[in-house]
Structure 1
């Protein structure tokens, strides 16, 4: 233990006595900073409170000049205190004055102090203040000291956030009426009009200090067991699709719930004098802080899983039921974060959209939300401080806007837009059973992209001809461990059964980059999108690839199997993968396993280097599919996730179209099937250009099949080809305007 710091229970006992006293709030703060300084052998202890204008005011101090209290204010982001408030994470420095963000305030008299420890004061996951300690000697505070200060900050959060201090940030506003529009990042297109349903508001911890430690330990142990039993029941429920991604998500939650380290930390917190609820919240904040420090998207997402599980445990401790069954029929679900398992517990028929304050494209919940065909916005700042349960709202994922409590005029405008979309959708639905044949008799295959078994009903609802891209990696991403061969086989078998004889093209495992598997050791890469991913990983880990190939062959026994290899950059990679597939064929024969009736192997054309090897590659494969998203971003060196450059280059740039035309011509010359999957395929004008270049098979999101089919039925490809080739041979940054004008003149439905 550092210096002569007292045990944690001594500090907690002192804080408990102060909080229970009849003193005024300011007197309590003054007493608390004295206790902290004494307990931690610190010469300075200070409390800063965040004000509505985002500045931070010194509310109490032990060690700094008393005249600075309520006189010193730090602007947003100013100094180390401002940095802690903005980051929401502790800062621990042996010499604060050497830090570039240090801001010297002469009125405080802090020039003699070097070591610095500051932690955020967080209430309802929002930073409402900062708690600091300082010493003259240069030293780094220990983990025990950081945790002690964070425990104190948790107690302060309730005192400050209760509204006891005039001018402090309040987080318990009354009913609001003002219309607000918030900008977010769209993950799935769509338009939703409905009412806000707050996703399981986090239970409030009202009591922090234990009266009876053994009783609190028993409450914690009982709640943990009930939580584990509840997850186990969900896993064993007869309605749960066995070996599906639902099962995998729940298994990941179960693994976290069974983590002995998580339970041990909570027990230790109770032994230090906290209630079971306070211990859960304390450990959750600690783990979240540690995971957010990693600077890795995967571990940041896992911090959301910890939040999810902690909330479940708090509800179990407090005997609270979930609100899943009390959803309105037009619910727009709003959450700070949520786990995929929780979204799966909602009735998708009642959901219109999903808005997440944090989150990201790689989170498990975003994968499930897209499968539910929801309009989705993530990274929507402060939405939970703005929205109330039951508020009317409009989610426009096309523009990335979330309108809370919209005006009557805005509701009317969007209602007209929604009715127009509904009429269009009804028209497209009538085309479900109509084949996509152009006016000049060309049969066009319109396939859909998928990645989860919950996507499969869209195959029939959309009228798609088949699945042009099945992303097998999504099953792996929602699992807590590498799925065993038999688990994979059952999933692939179910997909083929649900497809009902329509062709399914399985893409082999494409992980790496932003698609992370927690159970595979990772090496930090400067540019993971161009690093160790997809086929490169498969060839370096042949056992993983062979296990998947074996599972696919077993699932497709007696049926056609189409396997597509991603991220091929050189013919040698194709030959290496085919050699591994051949070994699995021999293994199946040796053990008398039935083989697929036809084994088709193809490659995804997405790396520019492969364009100059098509004459060598095409004779070796049964089909190719152009991955337009990656191919175009590599062609233009423009990251499609970077807003500054993503729209700088149009897919209808003449250079891009020349590349696509050349691919089509090569495939025709070698009599090899060719297709394209990507965002281009789902946009009518872009898809029209693809057909003019010779593509007769394209794959897209299920929602795009109807609009593209309507375009195909009104198109004459011969007329289009004559016009298009002349445009492509020019050197234009885009031919979109010319194609749109052509469509208008020819009455093509775009």
Structure 2
């Protein structure tokens, strides 16, 4: 059966619905005619429309087949019964035997006990569930996928009537209905540090779609072609503009975004939706609703990012269909705008006027999401995973973004805003003081030098190396650039990445950590089985040993990129000596291979390992003469030491890095490295916290690597510190008892004028 024949009935039904919606009568009368029309066309004894009201209640608004007295009387909570479940999960359901389904909720006033089968679809608008459309049959009936798709298209048309036809009060259509406008404190994940205060701007404004039902399919297909061509040209212009401003990861992301805009499968789905009888705008919205539904059920970060790009492109395409150019979104921004979004694509962020944009708050988002990377390139504070932020914020609400501590304040009082403004001024003054001090030596009052290095993972991080005055890159996470790509870069692509990093380092040392993939860092194009405990599973050096070609490709690229310059390589997640020796042998093979082919080889090669697995701490003596250095990854090391998953919120804060067992173990590692003659550094979160960094120096650490924003505060701490006095005090605490030594260490800092 061809597409035209397949959808003939759908087109006829859509035209009839269009006539009903355009006709006279109240919204209730039109709903009543719609359910009769659908029941007849779908050959169903029952058709019902449930509308979502304030308080997450689904009210029966119209029915053909159920008892008339049930209308406006029967109500279900979202999540209650089969209808409530459809609303809760935004998911179509088709059941041949609905009454025996475990979620069936019987309502005696409806008389539905005589109906066996049920098909229901969510009524969606802008990603929000406005209601549920249901058909039922007396006999057991298996509904086809085609019938479900027809119902979903009809539901999209009904959504327009609910929104614009006065079915419910407009206030009830807004997600924030029923939510108190009191001030809120919302926890978040820090995606880019900084402080900001301003007015909320909700992304994105709705683009009116006008007609949904088409008169002429050919004309709609032509309109789509024209809009696609205009959109592709505007994206080409955006990429060219970004490219001319300088290379970087965000440019690569925009190029990937442009490529996705040409996705044949996505365009084909829109064209097929037009063939069902929808206008070009209606078809885009139909496919966009499908994308949003899929996003709710996808956990894979790469797939979610891809679906998000498609959703954003749909919005962009709608603007072109409406006659706009999808640019200039930020024209109406207030002077101090805080952008609030469920999520968004990288190109859309660039549509806003960055001179007025002070912060970005995302309901979803991750540190490696495309929009977060572009925001970092613009130096905008970003908070992610702020649960429910879109539903709880109104346009122009006062917002405070504390991306240093992972908190968003919604509608703070005037006194609080004034106090925060003072904090912001103080923060800026301190940051300016740190900038002025960036060239001062990181030396304690008693003359002990402490190397302050910087952690990085993307090219856009590199300017911070010189801005912060860091001595070098103590940890370059090579997996991060790969996590924002569609496939594994070949040797030439990797050579380009590493060479640009070394060029921008301008002679300062860069410690390249080989790929630490697996666990929570999954490359979308690398197949890995699901694991019950991924943090301690098949990851990092373990993958490299099982698939040596992956590691050899990366090592080859690093050697070629370095040329005759020095090269420092570090292997992650090493649990025993044999793993380190295996990886080191592969590295030396690649050095010889490079020399045999006439390429220059590194003038100096340093090879080290990350100490994250406690077992390696008992083999340090055996590493003497083999490892040029070790670097403690405190995040993983402490979670393994305490057998405490650092991603589990129930365990957050339960174990303190400044506790007797943690400090005692670190002291054991420091002493073992001293005896073996192996230089030791720390590159986890402990290194960037001034109090914890002070403690590490007291234990004997002389090299710390941290986030760029931490370099200045830690330098101030180092320059205010007497290392000998700190060492004596810290070591006196190692035999202490108790859960934490934090209070005693903070008291020492206070008493001795240590800048924290």
Contact 2:687/2:693 (8 A) holds in 1: yes
Contact 1:219/1:317 (8 A) holds in 2: yes
Which whole-Å deviations, capped at 9, do the CAs of 1:509-548 have from their partners, x for residues lacking one? 1222222322223423333333322222223332222222
Contact 2:91/2:122 (8 A) holds in 1: yes
Of 718-727 and 136-145, the range deviating more from structure 2: 136-145
Partners of 2:137 and 2:696 in 1: CA distance = 68
- The question of 1:222 aligning with 2:214 is answered no
> What is the CA distance between 1:384 and its match in structure 2?
3.7
- The question of 1:450 aligning with 2:456 is answered yes
> What is the CA distance between 1:706 and its match in structure 2?
1.0
Match of 1:323 in 2: 328
- The question of 1:278 aligning with 2:247 is answered no
> What is the CA distance between 1:82 and its match in structure 2?
2.0
Match of 2:184 in 1: 181
> What is the CA distance between 1:694 and its match in structure 2?
0.9
The partner residue of 1:256 within 240, 250, 260 is 260
1:729–1:423 CA distance, 2 compared to 1 (3 A)? same
Partners of 2:282 and 2:146 in 1: CA distance = 17
> What is the CA distance between 1:190 and its match in structure 2?
3.1
- The question of 1:266 aligning with 2:238 is answered no
1:134–1:535 CA distance, 2 compared to 1 (3 A)? farther
1:618–1:52 CA distance, 2 compared to 1 (3 A)? farther
Partners of 1:287 and 1:173 in 2: CA distance = 23
Q: How does 1:530-541 map to 2 (within 5 A)?
A: 530-541=536-547
1:399–1:30 CA distance, 2 compared to 1 (3 A)? farther
1:516–1:406 CA distance, 2 compared to 1 (3 A)? same
- The question of 1:310 aligning with 2:311 is answered no
> What is the CA distance between 1:594 and its match in structure 2?
0.7
Contact 2:7/2:276 (8 A) holds in 1: no
Match of 2:551 in 1: 545
Contact 1:162/1:170 (8 A) holds in 2: no
Structure 1: any 5+ residue segments left out of the alignment? none
Partners of 1:182 and 1:148 in 2: CA distance = 43
> What is the CA distance between 1:331 and its match in structure 2?
2.9
Match of 2:441 in 1: 435
- The question of 1:699 aligning with 2:705 is answered yes
The partner residue of 1:486 within 483, 492, 502 is 492
1:635–1:138 CA distance, 2 compared to 1 (3 A)? farther
Secondary structure of 1:593 counterpart: coil
Count of residue correspondences: 747
Contact 2:183/2:413 (8 A) holds in 1: no
Partners of 1:566 and 1:746 in 2: CA distance = 37
> What is the CA distance between 1:365 and its match in structure 2?
2.3
Contact 1:104/1:111 (8 A) holds in 2: yes
Q: How does 1:282-681 map to 2 (within 5 A)?
A: 282-320=286-324, 321-323=326-328, 326=331, 327=333, 330-343=336-349, 350-370=356-376, 372-398=378-404, 400-681=406-687
Q: How does 1:54-69 map to 2 (within 5 A)?
A: 54-69=56-71
> What is the CA distance between 1:202 and its match in structure 2?
4.1
Structure 2: any 5+ residue segments left out of the alignment? none
Which whole-Å deviations, capped at 9, do the CAs of 1:561-599 have from their partners, x for residues lacking one? 111111222322222222221221122112101111112
> What is the CA distance between 1:705 and its match in structure 2?
0.8
Partners of 1:440 and 1:636 in 2: CA distance = 35
1:437–1:162 CA distance, 2 compared to 1 (3 A)? same
> What is the CA distance between 1:303 and its match in structure 2?
2.4
Secondary structure of 1:122 counterpart: strand
Contact 1:507/1:566 (8 A) holds in 2: yes
The partner residue of 2:216 within 194, 209, 212 is 212
TM-score by length of 1: 0.94
1:252–1:618 CA distance, 2 compared to 1 (3 A)? farther
> What is the CA distance between 1:218 and its match in structure 2?
0.6
Of 329-338 and 441-450, the range deviating more from structure 2: 329-338
Secondary structure of 1:120 counterpart: strand
Contact 2:162/2:168 (8 A) holds in 1: no
Partners of 1:677 and 1:346 in 2: CA distance = 36
Of 62-71 and 722-731, the range deviating more from structure 2: 722-731
> What is the CA distance between 1:288 and its match in structure 2?
3.1
1:592–1:82 CA distance, 2 compared to 1 (3 A)? same
Of 520-529 and 628-637, the range deviating more from structure 2: 520-529
Contact 1:245/1:479 (8 A) holds in 2: no
Partners of 1:341 and 1:5 in 2: CA distance = 35
> What is the CA distance between 1:506 and its match in structure 2?
1.1
Contact 2:94/2:119 (8 A) holds in 1: yes
Partners of 2:355 and 2:609 in 1: CA distance = 37
Secondary structure of 1:434 counterpart: coil
> What is the CA distance between 1:432 and its match in structure 2?
0.7
Partners of 2:321 and 2:687 in 1: CA distance = 50
> What is the CA distance between 1:732 and its match in structure 2?
2.6
1:279–1:12 CA distance, 2 compared to 1 (3 A)? same
> What is the CA distance between 1:361 and its match in structure 2?
4.5
1:166–1:294 CA distance, 2 compared to 1 (3 A)? closer
Contact 1:241/1:247 (8 A) holds in 2: no
Partners of 1:166 and 1:390 in 2: CA distance = 25
Over aligned residue pairs, what C-alpha RMSD do you find? 2.6
> What is the CA distance between 1:466 and its match in structure 2?
1.0
Which whole-Å deviations, capped at 9, do the CAs of 1:113-149 have from their partners, x for residues lacking one? 3333222212222112111222334455332222211
